[in-house]
Amino acid sequence: MMTDPDNRPPRHWYIPVPAKKFPQPKFHLDQQVRSHWGDEQGIPQYEIGEIIGMQYGASCYHLPEWSYLIRLKKSDFRPWLVGSDDGIYVYESSLIADDTAIPH
């Protein structure tokens, strides 16, 4: 039995994924990413966050790909969500890696 000297759970879990069944994900847990889109008025919007969950699958209108649950770190569009997630997974094709320094 292993014990944690600080009595804290491990920060990361490593879960084996059958590589022959699923493609490699483009992003990984804790990685910072950016999503961008145009709102109803056509104004460009973006949000920056860190990946806290990932899944592979498809919907009835979307081909299979990785999607990610993101904890927001910066959002002018939905500032009330900064520090949390909205529970919606974002498809990999809608994200780019981001290295913007976000003050705490």
Q: What are phi and psi of 93, to 5 degrees?
A: -65, -10
Q: What is the mean pLDDT of residues 36-54?
A: 91
pTM of the full structure: 0.77
Which tens digit of pLDDT belongs to each residue from 61-76? 878 899 999 999 999 8
- Summarised one tens digit per residue, pLDDT across range 11-23 is 566 677 777 788 8
Average pLDDT over all residues of the chain: 85
Specify whether domain 32-97 bears CATH 1.20.120. no
Nearest of 26, 23, 8 to residue 92 by alpha carbon? 26
Provide the residue ranges of all domains of the chain, joining segments of one domain with +: 32-97
3-state DSSP assignment of residue 82: coil
66 burial (CB, 10 Å; 0-12 / 13-18 / 19+) is buried
CB-count exposure of residue 47 (10 Å: 0-12, 13-18, 19+) = buried
CA dist 87 and 41 (Å) reads 25
pLDDT tier at 1 (50, 70, 90 boundaries)? very low
Residue 7 pLDDT grade (very low, low, confident, very high; cuts 50, 70, 90): low
